Structure 1
Amino acid sequence: MSDIVSKHLAVDATLGLRILREHVASVYAGHSTAILAHFGFAAALAIFSYSRLDYPWLMWWLLVLAAVDLYALLAPRWTPATPMSDSPYWARKYARLVTMVSVATAPAPLFLVSTTDLVMTTVFTVVIIGSWTRAVQARWPLKPAMFGYGVPMMTGLIAALVWHGSALNWFLAAFGTVNLVLTFRAGLQENRRLTESLVLRFENEALAARLSEQIAATERASAEKTRFLATASHDLRQPMHAIALFGAALENALDGRPEVKNAERLMRAVDTLGASLNTMLDISRLDAGVVVPDPCALELDALFRPLNHTFSAQADQKNLQLRIRASGLWVHSDPQLLYRMLSNLVDNALKYTQQGGVTVTALARGDLVWIEVRDTGIGIAPAQLERIFEEFYQIGNPGRDRSRGLGIGLSIVQRLSHLLAHPVQVRSRPGRGTCFRLVVPMAKASLDAPADLLLQDLESPVRHRFTIPDLRGPILLIDDESEIREAMTALLQGYSLDVVAVANEAAAVEALMHPDAQAKPFALLLCDYRLADGVDGLDVGQRLRERFQLHAPLLLITGETAPERLQRVRASGVPVLFKPVSAATLLQAMAELAPAGHRRAHRRDK
């Protein structure tokens, strides 16, 4: 076995056996052909020699050789089903078989080489050397078999040539010796190459297997993380949703009184915590494929204006300059998702900038537009450039300062970049600042783009005018948690909306069968997506609408973040709100589902 195998045996005890098994398989693959060819050459040579030399014993030698070849041909042999641990046994067995065949052939030259018949001697020598060289090449994978087959046969030929003498015989003996040495040398080199190639092959297979295991482990860890976040997020959203509803009801009840200031502070804290939960939800929604882009021709300045309005106060608090320069350029993208990318980049730049400022510009480059967000912040070391897009990774924040976010903003930017096909490029110099660049397709100006409505849509509905539905009938609320039923009822009744709150499908059936429901049908079905005992709120709502022929729209509310569940909701086409839901968002969604002409406006600025 070669040195390279010996080196690897210390690392992997099975490697040598695997290599030996491959070598044994290789020689046994051509075993039958080699033995038949050997007997054919021997028979042809004996018949040719018999006609010229008339040696009666040649037929006896041919019969002995036939018996040996027949035994080698019919002897039990290695098969692919043979255990790998038995490979050394079959390697030794094969070496003994071919050595026996060679030994049986070796005596023939002593009688066939002649000093008088030079033609016979030359033909015999050439045939032996030619057939021997080809046969030895087939045994190169196993060195014992190579030497066992080659040495006896060629030794017999060389010895016979030297024994009989004459210049021609000595020349042929020298030629045979050189051929023997060169053939064995080539065989050893080829054996080493074969062994090294097998070592590399098995090492690559082992690396591929370990890589597959690591990938599988990573995927399992990612799936477990997703399930954990989904469960934790849902469990956190439930009480947060109740707090938001109770707080909104309290704030509405205290409107116009001094105590409303405390209620407003409470709601600001709730909004902050809700924003953190929504950020984690965004990751799940993007991974689930729930977010579907709706690209259109978009004037960039219509995005830049709300961007400036959103972050100017944050920049002023840190005494930073925020420059968002008008460009007059149009791009082809989804307004909401592109705004989300830009807002995350600007927010990230402001967090990591202590002096100077942040600049947002757009430059035309052929058919593309470069949107650049530059800052004069701490910069990013080259080794960290790839890691900044990882979830929860933050530079220079080992203490996880909550004021600097969760470390998910850039991860969302990268996901949206893939979703929109807007490549993200980043350049940075530590201590000098960072530049993020979005590469977006250019579009022609369109007169149909609603620039004013775009600004309104991008800003939070909590802080601006929202619509209260003026429903013709009561709302049927289905939620298994009593606190949420009470909070939702208190909130909606505060806006003069009639609510019937139940815990499950059976109670909802009773409410729908009540005489009051016949006289005044329900105008809206409001259902939690995950009910008690794993009951699916979407299925419940659809069954109730079908059973009672309800024309009332269905609105789902959920704290669910599991990708497969979000995909199912999206496929249903039923509108859904994600907990915690603000009062304004809830009322606005209900108003959009209510029949036109049955809405009234409400404004609360905070």
Structure 2
Amino acid sequence: MNDQTPGRLPVDATLEMRVLREHVASVYAGNTTAIAAHMGFAIVIGCFGYFYVNPDFRLLIVALITVIVLVDLYAMITPRWTPAVPLSETPYWERKYTRIVTVISTVTAPSSLFLVSIQEPMLTTLVTVVIMGSWTRAVQARWPLKRAMFGYGIPMMSGLIVSLAWYGGALNWFLAGFAFVNLVLTLSEGVKQNKRLTASLILQFENEALAAQLREQIAATERASAEKTHFLAAASHDLRQPMHAIALFGAALGNTLRHRPEVRNVERLMRAVDALGASLDTMLDISRLDAGVVQPMPHALELDELFLPLHNTFSVLAERKRLQLRVRASGLWVRSDPQLLYRMLSNLVDNALKYTRHGGVTVVARRRGEQVWIEVRDTGIGIAPEQADRIFEEFYQVNNPGRDRSRGLGIGLSIVRRLGRLLGHAVELRSRPGRGTRFRLAVPLAEPTDASQDSLPLQELESPVRHFFQVPELGGRVLLIDDEEDIREAMTELMRAYGIEVVAVAGEAEAVEVLMQPDAELNPVALLMCDYRLGEGAEGLQVGLRLRERFRLDAPMLLITGETAPERLQRVREWGVPVLFKPVSAATLMQAIVELMQVEAHAEGA
């Protein structure tokens, strides 16, 4: 086999060895059948010659056929190549095969001397045609190995040509010439076919190598994405723990100092905590979307119900930057999830305001067939064409090499794309650098309806307002399980400020001791509150479920966690347990307690 195929780069040794292995496998696949056919053909020709040629040659014919049969038998019983043979031994088997077929062809070549003559022209012609036909078919089977093809083809056909020329005569000379032309053409075609087969195998292996590299790159990308997700989840969890404690202590401190001038410092502290919490929540949103725990609940809704809180939320920021924010009422109805659609719009408006220095931002909706196009336009710095796809990548920002915190984390548009795919709303971008940008959402049109829809409350769309909750009588105490001492103290102090009795423990064993105390029935647990990740690898979800089952607790359970790992979020969702994500503000925590107790009271009343 050639080391180099014309028009291609040199083939490396390993690839060449693999190609040779395929060629050897090809010829050995039909080797036993071919040798058996050759042996049968030799016996038939020998019998024919024994009875129809000069009796003086009979002994030679018998001897020659015996030698041919013995050689064929040796070729059949000798060890053969198998797929288990190491790749490095392939050249040995190629040489062995070439030697065997060369010997077979050489011992068969003299048989032509006894089968052609000048006395029987028709018989000579028939024998010549039969020999050339079988020879051509046998040579074609050995095209994958060029040396074996020549080793088998030349001796046998040379024997026929020499035999015809030896006897002479016009017919024999014609047949000899015909056999010579057949020899040259068949071997020439064999060389071409060998090159084609070799080139085809090289291309196949190169494609397989490219496919393997592509699979490795895809796997590496998936691993990197998973590692990034796990890193963000771990970092987010570690940051959320102290942030959660700071938020709770700050709320308790603010409650204590609410009638003193120092409360302003507490408010500044809580604004900083809220800003950091918003950044962590953004990373949590990515993890939740990747985990598949966000389930859309689409229904018919009036767009103006989203546009009004959208305007209220961002009008203050627009005025602060001296920009115009126009959110035009449309009267149109669409089919979507109100919470998720609002999140898409708020991210787009927030992004537009960040990158607009003069002019303003406009939000409009228009009907186009069976769709409603919602457009967010700005007169900002615009986006270059080469950056149009990259802006949807996580943490990518245009013209922010210094990572100015006022421009966010660069995750907002990534969330928009994920939500668009989740809801089935196409997101289209058009922009001109220096002139502005337009984002368009294509949302299905819906018929107006007067029926109220069960949906997620829109209260989350408004900016949160801190206020003191009137907590109903719980009818018992809260059992808090958290392995962080600071967090136990902060949550205990906060809930006691609201008149809630709290028993805080670090783990399952302590919780069991509390529930086994003699007065446990007199002062029952009204709410079980667990951190998701407890000490020594325990999971708060499983701990809470075991406690409820063991002590037959009817109390609702609330999980509080700093986890953002997709697989853990998915597990929580499957169990249907309410969950709050750290850092939890005092207002959010108390609101969750109020809602849980209202649901419990409603269930008991039913």
Look up the equivalent residue of 1:149 and give its one-letter code.
Answer: Y
Write out per-residue CA displacement over residues 259-293 of structure 1, whole angstroms, 9 at most, x where no aligned residue. Answer: 22222111111111000011111111112222111
Per-residue deviation, 1:464: 7.1
Aligned to 1:604: none
Aligned to 2:160: 157
Pick one of 133, 147, 151 that aligns with 2:150.
Answer: 147
C-alpha separation between the residues in 1 aligned to 2:308 and 2:202?
64
1:117-196 equivalent positions in 2, closer than 5 A? 117-196=120-199
Aligned to 1:47: 47
Aligned to 2:37: 37
CA contact (8 A) 2:478 2:502 kept: yes
Aligned to 1:12: 12
1:211 aligns with 2:209: no
CA contact (8 A) 1:299 1:451 kept: no
| Secondary structure class of the residue paired with 1:426 | strand
CA contact (8 A) 1:462 1:585 kept: no
Per-residue deviation, 1:596: 6.8
CA contact (8 A) 2:97 2:148 kept: yes
- Measured at CA, do residues 597 and 389 of structure 1 come closer, stay the same or move farther in structure 2, by a change above 3 Å? closer
Write out per-residue CA displacement over residues 497-544 of structure 1, whole angstroms, 9 at most, x where no aligned residue. Answer: 332323233333343444654333332222222222222222232333
Aligned to 2:86: 83
Q: What TM-score, normalized to structure 1?
A: 0.93
Look up the equivalent residue of 1:84 and give its one-letter code.
Answer: L
Look up the equivalent residue of 2:38 and give its one-letter code.
Answer: H
Write out per-residue CA displacement over residues 19-49 of structure 1, whole angstroms, 9 at most, x where no aligned residue. Answer: 1111111111111111122222233333333
Aligned to 2:266: 263
- Measured at CA, do residues 346 and 465 of structure 1 come closer, stay the same or move farther in structure 2, by a change above 3 Å? farther
- Measured at CA, do residues 596 and 92 of structure 1 come closer, stay the same or move farther in structure 2, by a change above 3 Å? closer
1:193-272 equivalent positions in 2, closer than 5 A? 193-272=196-275
Per-residue deviation, 1:126: 0.4
Aligned to 2:119: 116
Per-residue deviation, 1:384: 2.4
| Secondary structure class of the residue paired with 1:444 | coil
Aligned to 1:485: 488
Unaligned runs of 5+ in 2: none
Aligned to 1:93: 96
Per-residue deviation, 1:598: 8.4
Per-residue deviation, 1:491: 1.8
Q: Give percent identity, aligned residues only.
A: 69
Per-residue deviation, 1:153: 1.1
1:326 aligns with 2:329: yes
Aligned to 1:410: 413
- Measured at CA, do residues 480 and 588 of structure 1 come closer, stay the same or move farther in structure 2, by a change above 3 Å? same
C-alpha separation between the residues in 2 aligned to 1:426 and 1:154?
74
Pick one of 375, 378, 401 that aligns with 1:375.
Answer: 378
1:288 aligns with 2:284: no
How many residues in Structure 1 have an aligned counterpart in Structure 2? 599
C-alpha separation between the residues in 1 aligned to 2:601 and 2:264?
32
Look up the equivalent residue of 1:12 and give its one-letter code.
Answer: D
Aligned to 2:390: 387
- Measured at CA, do residues 280 and 467 of structure 1 come closer, stay the same or move farther in structure 2, by a change above 3 Å? farther
- Measured at CA, do residues 486 and 454 of structure 1 come closer, stay the same or move farther in structure 2, by a change above 3 Å? closer
C-alpha separation between the residues in 2 aligned to 1:453 and 1:558?
22
Pick one of 425, 429, 445 that aligns with 2:428.
Answer: 425
CA contact (8 A) 1:360 1:373 kept: yes
Per-residue deviation, 1:248: 1.2
Q: Aligned Cα RMSD in Å?
A: 2.5
| Secondary structure class of the residue paired with 2:525 | coil
More divergent stretch after superposition (452-461 vs 47-56) = 452-461
CA contact (8 A) 1:377 1:432 kept: yes
Pick one of 394, 400, 403 that aligns with 1:400.
Answer: 403
Write out per-residue CA displacement over residues 52-110 of structure 1, whole angstroms, 9 at most, x where no aligned residue. Answer: 32341323222222122222222221111111111111101111111111111212223
| Secondary structure class of the residue paired with 1:4 | coil
CA contact (8 A) 2:338 2:456 kept: no
Look up the equivalent residue of 2:330 and give its one-letter code.
Answer: S
Look up the equivalent residue of 2:389 and give its one-letter code.
Answer: E
1:314 aligns with 2:314: no
Pick one of 520, 527, 531 that aligns with 1:528.
Answer: 531
C-alpha separation between the residues in 2 aligned to 1:406 and 1:454?
27
Per-residue deviation, 1:582: 0.9
More divergent stretch after superposition (298-307 vs 503-512) = 503-512
Q: What TM-score, normalized to structure 2?
A: 0.93
Unaligned runs of 5+ in 1: 600-606
Aligned to 2:440: 437
CA contact (8 A) 2:61 2:114 kept: no
Per-residue deviation, 1:450: 6.4
More divergent stretch after superposition (517-526 vs 407-416) = 517-526
| Secondary structure class of the residue paired with 1:106 | helix
Per-residue deviation, 1:138: 0.3
1:589 aligns with 2:597: no
| Secondary structure class of the residue paired with 1:462 | coil
CA contact (8 A) 1:471 1:598 kept: no
Per-residue deviation, 1:243: 0.8
Look up the equivalent residue of 2:514 and give its one-letter code.
Answer: A
Per-residue deviation, 1:591: 0.4
C-alpha separation between the residues in 1 aligned to 2:295 and 2:340?
10
| Secondary structure class of the residue paired with 2:595 | helix
CA contact (8 A) 2:19 2:198 kept: yes
CA contact (8 A) 2:112 2:159 kept: yes
CA contact (8 A) 1:469 1:598 kept: no
